[in-house]
Chain A
Amino acid sequence: MSDDLYDDHILDHYESPYHRGHLDMPTIVHEDENPLCGDQVRLELLIENDRVREAWFDGHGCAISQAAASILMKEIEGKTLEELRAFQAKDMLDKLKIRLTASRQKCGLLSFKILKTMIYTLDERKGQGDGSDGA
């Protein structure tokens, strides 16, 4: 854990983000913002066989929110939905490798929060498709 918020890891992702852009045919898209700062992130995932084939993001905001999105995209490609269900906020904060104050955690966790919403949505869709109650 670094006490230096703006270390090379964060700044490299901020300046040269991984998969900033859009997918032609995303399986699911979701966006959200952090009203406090106006950070905005949109995630697009291509899911095949319950596995993330590609993950892209777009958005604007502070370095923390944008670098976190880039780090998350890199992290989740190739992962199964089962693995993403197990991925917790703490794991996300660990991936950032910096210590965030409570107010900046909102920036660092914005894309994580969006990912979690996407997974709930996918699970709901699946539940409806099966005709089961999704329990």
Chain B
Amino acid sequence: MTEHRWTELAAPYALGSLDPGERAEFERHLETCASCRVEVQSFREVSGLLARGVAHATPPAELRARVVRYARRARPAILPWAVAAAVVLAILGGFGYWRAANEARVLRTRFDVAQSQLDSTKYVVAALLDSSVAITDLAATGKAPSMRLYWNRARNIVVVAAFDLPPAPAGRTYQLWAIEKGRAPVSVGTFNSAPSGRPVITLQMPAGVQPEVSAVTEEPAGGSPQPTQQPFLVGSWRSRS
């Protein structure tokens, strides 16, 4: 990260302590400076952690119902489905760094095991090894199942590796969705699980779709044009440009 005079303003900006003139100037600078944006966010993380050091106070039990009631009135204008996905992500993010890192490690180990059991068709391996591959983990709020997606952008192939995913009930199928900000979900394809609970499937990402989020729902056999259920697995694609 390059050190420049603006960097000094990141900490007071994150705390909200800049005087108005300086704040406006710094906000203009932030629009064009990625390194200062990262710096600001790191101090926002500090500010967030300081909240954990605040003297303890116990919220009254009835406050939870009030919060939910109040939020119901403040229903968002955007697709509730996309919002639900974002909130699920928010909850996952709230697990804290240690646990997240730990879960990622566990998942990686399990994936290595699953991978060693693959019949390594050239197709799958070539799709995974390509440098244009983006990876995301889909996770549920509970422990199992989980899923890792490999998206080969050059060939628009998505390799799906699931763990602890039971086969779909009779007459039902799983369906993977690609979600672009502010748009309706696009189907990537349907699939089922293996008796081992660890299927590896390749699907085709629809041309021109650049999803921010992917999610999995359970649908009637053959799939649905749009999801009919809440997603049980959600993950965000992090751009690796």
Is this pair of chains taken from one and the same complex? no
Residues of A within 8 A of B (CB): none
